[in-house]
Amino acid sequence: MSSPQVPLDTVGTAYTTAPPGAVRRKRMSMWQRPPYWMMLPSVALLLIIVVAPFAVSVYASLTKLNQYTIAHWTSAPFVGLENYADAFRQGNALGASALQSVWVSVSFSVATTILITPIGIIAALLVNKPFRGRRWVRTLFLVPYVMPVFVNAIVWRMLFMNGWGLIDQVLAGLHLANKDTFWLIGPRSFWAMVVADVWSSWPFVYLMVLAGLQGISSDLYESANIDGASPVRGFFSITLPMLRPVLGLALLLSTLNHFNNFTLPFIMFGTPPSPQADVLPLNVYITSFQTFNFGLGAAMSLMTLILMMIPAVFYIRMLRLGEATS
């Protein structure tokens, strides 16, 4: 073992960032060029099943594709950017709240991600070391993730129901709130939605971290132990840096996925939900797909996508995700 001081601080980079140039040159010379054929199946499938429909959808966003033209969709009139202008003008069934929906969606996905990350990391650390019954605990931790989203929404709707819902009854029993407190309408509906989503989605971070932990060599901890570092310090100086690529990815995807979640508010609340819980995708879904305006729907989806990708690209740059071998 080398000096304990060095790996503690640099080990993360040693494994995850650029290997010394000499090593890479050597490898490149021995391995010749990248085996592109290994990527071929992925690329081909993505092209046919995602990229091609996406391109069709982009085209549709430039046409007046709606209930009148759907039967002859190839000849739907071309309207240029009109749908995009419409999307700005009429976000919501009651107008002018598209911006608010963006704000709700951003707060929702950020709040949820911030809450599920520590829970997920702690849960993974708790079941990382062997103990009796560990596999049952590990499996139990997966249960919320396995419940279908709409079942989750129904259950939390019942739990949060004012008057007879369990949460109001418990809060009233503890004299913390009135039994008739509304959770599914008004400002509190945002938090009801966050709680329901946290319950069902923290195992995502948990699973990612659990697998990430397995890649950390126990030697690192042993050397840290010899060094007399406490487990807490070990966590911050070894575990967290080593988890960086996995955790960075988990946070990014969690944020993006929660931004897209519309089943939960769709079932938990009425349609449309309270302005405080009216997330953008739901807004898009209702104004376009329930009212058969596919062109507008595609335009709104595309704008949502661009809106999400701008911060995502910054984030990827900032964390230098995907640059391990560059």
Partner 1 sequence: MSKASNRAKLLSAVAMVALGTTVSACGSQSNTSSTQENTAGHATSMTLTIFTSKYTANPQAQEQFLNKLASQFEQKNPGIKIQFTYYDSASQENTTLQTSLATQQGPDIFDIGTTFVPTAYAMNGFHVLSKQDWDKIGGLQKFFPAQLKMSGPGSGHYIAVPWEMVPFGLVYNKKLFKEAGIQSPPQTWTEFVKDAQKLTNPAKNQWGTAIDPADSFDPWHVGWVLTKQFGGDFVSADLKRATLDSEAAVKGLTFWFDWVQKYKIASPNDMTNKGTDELRAFENGHAAMLVMQGTSLIPSLESSAVKDDYAFAPMPTIPYGMNALPQGGVPVQTFVSGNDFVIPKYVTGERYQAALKWIKFFTDVPQQNEMYNVYGQMPVNVNAYKNNPELNTPVIKAFVAAENHAYPIPFTPAWGNIEVVYGGVSNKIANAIATHSYHDGDISAALKAANQQAQSSLQQ
Partner 2 sequence: MSYSMSAQQRFWNTLRAVGIALIALFILIPLAYIVLISLTPDTQVGGGSLWPSHWAFENYAKMWPTVHLAQGIRNSVIISGLAGLLATLVALGSAYVLARFQFRGRKTFMLSLITIQTIPSVMLLLPLFVIIVVIQDAISIHLVGRYFTIILTYMTFALPFACWLLYSYMSGIPADLEEAGFVDGCTRLQVVRYVVFPLLLPGMVVTFVFSFLLAWGDVLFASVLTSAETHTVAVSLQAYVSSGESGGDVYWGQLMAASLTSGLPIMVIFLIFQKYIIGGLASGAVKG
Residues 31-50 that bind partner 2 (CB under 8 A): 31, 33-36, 38-43, 45-46, 48-50
**# of chain residues touching partner 1 (CB under 8 A):** 36
Report what 94 binds from partner 2, partner 1, none; CB cut-off 5-8 Å by kind. Answer: partner 1
The tokens describing 268, both together, are 């938990």
Instruction: Confirm or reject binding of residue 20 to partner 2 (CB under 8 A).
Output: no
The interface with partner 2 within residues 191-210 (CB under 8 A) comprises: 199, 207-208, 210
Q: Which residue has the tokens 């999400």?
A: 308
Query: What distance in Å separates the CA atoms of residue 306 and residue 315, rounded to the nearest whole number?
Result: 14
Which residues 139-178 are close enough to bind partner 2 by CB under 8 A?
A: 139-151, 154-156, 158-159, 161, 164, 166, 169
Which part of the chain contacts partner 2 (CB under 8 A), choosing from 2-10, 89-97, 109-117, 243-251?
A: 243-251
What is the tally of helices (H) and strands (E) in the chain? 17, 0
From the list partner 1, partner 2, none, which binds 151 (C-beta under 5 to 8 Å, kind-based)? partner 2
Whether the Cβ atoms of residue 286 and residue 114 lie closer than 8 Å to each other: no
Instruction: Give the footprint of partner 1 on residues 53-92 (CB under 8 A).
Output: 64, 66-68, 70-73, 90, 92
Q: Phi/psi at 129 (nearest 5 deg)?
A: -80, 145
* Contact range with partner 2 by CB under 8 A, out of 80-88, 104-112, 115-123, 182-190: 115-123
User: Quick check: 155 and 166 in contact, CB under 8 A?
Assistant: no
Name which position in 23, 99, 226, 240 contacts partner 2 (CB under 8 A): 23
Give min distance, CB of 291 to partner 1, in A: 4
* Cis-peptide into 272, omega within 30 deg: yes
Q: List alpha helices for 186-239, DSSP H.
A: 188-214, 218-226, 231-234
Binding residue for partner 1, selected from 9, 180, 222, 323, defined by CB under 8 A: 180
DSSP state of 276: G
Please tell me the distance from the alpha carbon of residue 7 to that of residue 152, in angstroms, as a whole number.
Answer: 44
Piece of 77-85, 107-115, 185-193, 306-314 that binds partner 2 (CB under 8 A): 306-314
Token pair recorded at residue 261 = 């979640």
